[in-house]
Amino acid sequence: MSFWEYLGNRHQQLLTDAFQHAGAVFQCMILATVLGVALGAVTYRSEWAGNLATTATSTILTIPSLAMIGLLIPVVGLGVPPTVVALTLYGLLPIVRNAIVGLRGVDPSLVDAAKGIGMSRVARLARVELPLAWPPILTGIRVSTQMLMGIAAIAAYASGPGLGNEIFRGIASLGSKNALNQVLAGTLGIIVLALLFDAAYVVVGRLTIPRGTRV
């Protein structure tokens, strides 16, 4: 069976897997963004806390993904929970780091002006600092998403959802006639998804970066 025939026969299964893969990455990204930006906003003003947050999240990233999922299984069980926890944790680093860099990069005279005209701490963060730090944060989100696309494939190891199942099935039956097709379909599917997400982020950037700060 050629690769194209395989795709034709299995497109139903492949689409479901792709959809689940995208869904998992998307939802984990939202979680990671909320957590990452919050972590950045809480720590950026202190040299010490900011560095701690960056170091902690980059340490997470150095744990091999297979090991991470393996370690999570005894704690949260099989299936969706370890996938969500692992993906969210991996997604944090680029977002936290860019949030801290972005927030620290806001022109101090603007922060001074915001304070001077009577904006409260929360208003300053929500209406001045975060909007101005948004472009680097969005870049962080983009990098994070690309990374999670790949890592999400490992989730199949813990019976998680997504295109990883296809790859793992292929690897498990190496030598059979469809093994290569399976691995290939899973991998290419992930690449296509990653490109689609990246295109979506360009659109998101267009819509959410205020005209006044767009270069």
Partner 1 sequence: MSETVTTSETAGTGGHGATIELENLTKRYPGSSGPSVDNVSMEIRAGETVVFVGPSGCGKSTTLKMINRLIEPTGGRIRIGGEDVTDMDPVKLRRRIGYAIQSSGLFPHMTVAQNIALVPRMTGWPAGRVKARVEEMLDLVGLDPGEFHDRYPRQLSGGQQQRVGVARALAADPPVLLMDEPFGAVDPITRDHLQDELIRLQHELHRTIVFVTHDFDEAIKLGDRIAVLRERSHIAQFDTPEAILTNPADDFVSGFVGAGAALKRLNLTRVRNVEITDYPTVAVDDPLQEIFNKLRSSGTNEILLLDKLRRPYKWLRRGDLMRARGSLARAGTLVSDTVTRDATLRDALEAVLTDNAGRVAVTGRRGEYEGVVDMETLMNSVRELLEADRLEAAEARAELEAARTDRTHAEQEGDDRTGGKSGEVRA
Q: Rule CB under 8 A: is residue 207 a binding residue for partner 1?
A: no
Dihedral sign of CA atoms 14, 15, 18, 23 in order: negative
Which of 206/211 has CB closer to partner 1? 211
- Which of 132, 149, 190, 193 touches partner 1 by CB under 8 A? 132
82 within 8 A of 73, measured Cβ to Cβ: yes
Which of 11/115 has CB closer to partner 1? 115
Instruction: Report which DSSP code applies to 46.
Output: S
- Which of 29, 32, 128, 141 touches partner 1 by CB under 8 A? 128
Which of 86/106 has CB closer to partner 1? 106
Would you list the DSSP string of 54-80?
HHHHHHHHHS-HHHHHHHHHHHH-SSH
Rounded to a whole number of angstroms, the minimum distance from the CB of residue 117 to partner 1 is: 5
Number of residues that bind partner 1 (CB under 8 A): 19
Which of 113/199 has CB closer to partner 1? 113
Helices (H) and strands (E) in the chain, counts: 9, 0
Q: What is the Cα–Cα distance from 103 to 40, expressed in whole angstroms?
A: 8
Site residues for partner 1, 100-119, by CB under 8 A, read 109-110, 112-119
What is the distance of C-alpha 49 from the center of its chain?
23
Residue ranges that bind partner 1, judged by CB under 8 A: 109-110, 112-120, 123, 128, 131-132, 210-213
